[in-house]
Amino acid sequence: MLKKCWLFIVSLLLLGSLGANAIELNFTGFVADEAKVLSNQSVNDINMMLWDLQKKTGADIAVVTLPSLNGQNVNDVAIQIGREYKLGDKVKNNGVVFLTSTGDRLMSIQLGAGLEQSVGVRKIEEIRDYDILPYYREGQYEKGIFRGAYMLARAVAVSENVKVTRYGNVPARSASSGKKEDIPFWAWPFIFICALFGGGRGRRGHFNAGSFGGFGGGGGFGGSGCSGSW
């Protein structure tokens, strides 16, 4: 009897410990902006892009900002988010976590197991170095997050042989990145004409959180990713 009581107490302590380590995020669609660095318009435009990607590929990209990691490792937290929220299609395991901790000046991108080969670490390192961190170093978190989310969505879309729809004013690469956009020279006249007659604005729409069916039930994250600081 005494042995059973001790087992019961130990079980409760273990459950309590697991609960304490669980990450509770307030998602609006694919975005959990706990650090409050994104405008409502940016959240909407990012969600529209990521919703479009999910409908075409089943992939989930979770964009998460935190004010602090509370001493935890940034990669471990990102992987935990991917697993707890079951990102990606349950068969494809094509989820992505894009985590930024503003207070710690740390970020992490983690790939689901199904994207480890098709997207790969080298590609997300390039996105980190040229599309995200240059903006973060300038203190422009919103631009870096918006740009990073779009480039990650585009990378996943390419791996699935589809094209993700671009919404809103996706920032170009920061001039401080030291690397220009990979746009062929012949495309610039068309870009200029579109900007001239379209006011430079991307496609607009409104994300209806009520229509978002949630993440796909994957969650297979094996630690393939990258991190960075600024």
HSE value, Cβ hemisphere, 13 Å, CA-based, for 87? 31
Residue 101 phi/psi, 5° resolution? -110, 105
CATH number of 25-181, picked from 3.40.50.10470, 3.40.50.150, 3.10.310.50, 3.30.465.10:
3.10.310.50
> Which pLDDT score, from 0 to 100, does residue 212 have?
81
Lookup: tokens for 67 = 């004010």
Give the C-alpha separation, 129 to 122, whole Å. 11
> Which pLDDT score, from 0 to 100, does residue 109 have?
98
Region class of 35: left (phi > 0), else alpha (psi between -120 and 50), else beta: alpha
Question: Do 98 and 61 form a contact (C-beta atoms < 8 A)?
Answer: yes
> Which pLDDT score, from 0 to 100, does residue 188 have?
47
> Which pLDDT score, from 0 to 100, does residue 217 have?
94
Lookup: tokens for 35 = 């650090």
Give the C-alpha separation, 103 to 32, whole Å. 16
* pTM given for the model: 0.84
Question: Do 108 and 227 form a contact (C-beta atoms < 8 A)?
Answer: yes
> Which pLDDT score, from 0 to 100, does residue 205 have?
82
CA angle 38, 44, 46 (to 5 degrees): 75
Each residue's pLDDT, cut to its tens digit, for the chain (230 residues) gives: 555 544 444 444 444 444 445 689 999 999 999 999 999 999 999 999 999 999 999 999 999 999 999 999 999 999 999 999 999 999 999 999 999 999 999 999 999 999 999 999 999 999 999 999 999 999 999 999 999 999 999 999 999 999 999 999 999 998 987 776 655 555 545 544 544 444 445 667 888 877 788 999 999 999 999 999 99
Domain ranges of the chain: 25-181
